Amino acid sequence: MPQSPANPPRLKVEHLTRAFGGTPVVDDVSLDVAAGQVACLLGPSGCGKSTTLRMIAGVERPDRGRIAFDGQPVSDERLFQPPEARSVGLMFQDFALFPHLTVAQNVAFGLRSGRDERDRRVAELLERVNLVGYGTKHPHQLSGGEQQRVALARALAPRPRVMLMDEPFSGLDNRLRDGIRDTTLEILKEEGAAVLLVTHEPDEALRMADEILLMRAGRIVQRGSPYNIYNAPADRAAAAFFSDINVIRGTSRGALTRTPFGEFLTPGHADGAEVEIVIRPQHLKIDFDRNGRGPNPTPAEGTPARGRVVRARFLGRESLVEFVMDSDGSRLTASVPNVFLPKPGTALWLMIRRDRCFVFPARR
């Protein structure tokens, strides 16, 4: 949706900052989430995701910055609204249902409406989370996945403007998780709240997010759609956050870097600058040796380089093959769909999809 003063985003956060004991934990974080949109705050443990969420919820005071819902400030230099005044739905890792209340009473907990309206809303939500007939049960009688759905219904019941979710799926069994993520996403979209979901799992963010906000050491280092974040990472660490990576080092001269795989274009890097060419395992192509001749160079894949298999493992959907390269003894890993398990010591040729490489300044 286009944004203008007349049409502000559902959730707007500007320059949010918080330090603990002099150490900045959330450092100048700004973000927008529109109604009906799911944004994922993604980053490694300790990078400040939960602290950001807690400030938006109103359970932690920012040192600096502004938070507004639909253009109305809920937290700024002068104002700090408590959580109950903010119209936020909260869902945390331990979704802590009230054990002494029934499922229906849990869902109705935050509802202030009259009894008929409340009963209608509870019935509607129990149907939506596929728990019709569970209203009179108690939490201890439910499975983990069922409890999670009750918690979702409870958080959504008062129709919050902003839904804040902190690792809400991490307590669940692996096999349950994908199904519950998809159902949850459908329900969130139907309800139309702006959703900010915290996770340290890239797969979860790719699956759930309209926009990913990649966070590191208190700062947002990159934001974009799952496709863009995955395919145009801002730096080596951003690339490595989503998959294993291969790194080929070289020196840029005249905007070209020579490697065992031929020359790579490295524009924007000074003469003599060390660069890292980063490629994901699925974008290395394997070809056969043909008595030491291998494949011919192509414009898209450049010069092939020969390596020997060190190890090959079958992972279900794909096989991972690790190589030691003839040219310099470096190690590279290629992934191949399905089954490909060459014996250790087998000579094979590797090629690099030029359009799938990322070039970054070398890390010191």
Ligand X SMILES: Nc1ncnc2c1ncn2[C@@H]1O[C@H](COP(=O)(O)OP(=O)(O)OP(=O)(O)O)[C@@H](O)[C@H]1O
Kindly list the residues in this chain that would bind ligand X in the complex (CB under 6 A).
20, 25, 43, 45-51, 200
What does the DSSP 8-state code read for residue 282?
G
Contact region for Mg ion (CB under 5 A) — 24-32, 49-57, 113-121, 297-305? 49-57
- The verdict on 333 binding Mg ion (CB under 5 A) reads no
- The verdict on 184 binding Mg ion (CB under 5 A) reads no
* Pair type for strands 162-166 and 88-91: parallel
Beta bridge partners of 194: 162
3-state secondary structure 297-356: CECCCECCEEEEEEEEEECCCEEEEEEEECCCCCEEEEEEECCCCCCCCCEEEEEECHHH
Neighbours of 239 (CB within 10 A): 23
Residue with tokens 């979702």: 152
- The verdict on 259 binding Mg ion (CB under 5 A) reads no
Calculate the alpha carbon distances from 279 to 26, 72, 169, 358 in Å. Answer: 31, 45, 30, 7
Contact region for Mg ion (CB under 5 A) — 14-22, 50-58, 287-295, 351-359? 50-58
268 contacts 288 by C-beta, under 8 angstroms: no
The nearer residue to ligand X, 223 or 356, going by C-beta atoms, is 223
The nearer residue to ligand X, 21 or 254, going by C-beta atoms, is 21
Contact region for Mg ion (CB under 5 A) — 46-54, 182-190, 203-211, 251-259? 46-54
Contact region for Mg ion (CB under 5 A) — 13-21, 48-56, 80-88, 261-269? 48-56
- The verdict on 50 binding Mg ion (CB under 5 A) reads yes
Minimum Å distance from CB 95 to ligand X? 15
Minimum Å distance from CB 109 to ligand X? 25
Minimum Å distance from CB 55 to Mg ion? 13
